Amino acid sequence: MSSDLRKMRKAEKLRSKELRKDRLVQTRVDRRLDNAIREEARRRRMSVSNLVRGVLEDAFGLADPDVDPVLEGGLEAPQEQASLEHVYAWNAVVLGKDARCSRCNASMSAGDSAFIGLSEDAEAARAWLCGDCGEDL
């Protein structure tokens, strides 16, 4: 076999291999978005990678038509962030019952470290922060 033929076959094999490989897309996200993505993936019992891939395929109309879309009726609309202007201080606590973070809406379980907002406004909803959002204070 000639060396030119070997080179052509090797180049063809490399091109074929490159076409089969998935590409890696990296992006930076803030802690709250990371928590929301991980929570949604956990809730759906799927990997973060598969969730993000499905959302992107749905968003760009590239999903297989025979597969249920991830976005349609699946992801909850982001909740409006609660106003925390009434909070004058934050106190570190260990939760005695389940709660949701007032900033990123992450679920927190009894026994988790969290922060409770102190307020003099009796009408305001109780404010909770998860450990990650509390680190941003």
**Whether 46 and 91 share a structural domain:** no
Q: At what angle do helices 48-59 and 31-44 cross, to 10 degrees?
A: 100
Q: What is the pLDDT of residue 92?
A: 94
Asked if 119 contacts 85 with a C-beta cutoff of 8 angstroms, the reply is no
Give a yes or no: residue 120 inside a domain. Answer: yes
Give a yes or no: residue 80 inside a domain. Answer: no
Domain that holds residue 55: 3-59
Both ends of the chain: CA-CA distance in Å?
69
Q: What is the pLDDT of residue 111?
A: 92
**Whether 48 and 92 share a structural domain:** no
Beta strands 99-100; 107-108: pairing state: antiparallel
How many domains would you assign to the chain? 2
Give a yes or no: residue 73 inside a domain. Answer: no
Q: What is the pLDDT of residue 88?
A: 93
Asked if 113 contacts 92 with a C-beta cutoff of 8 angstroms, the reply is yes
Give a yes or no: residue 67 inside a domain. Answer: no
Q: What are phi and psi of 6, to 5 degrees?
A: -60, -45
Verdict on whether the full-model pTM lies above 0.75:
no
**Whether 51 and 95 share a structural domain:** no
pLDDT at residue 58 tops 90? no
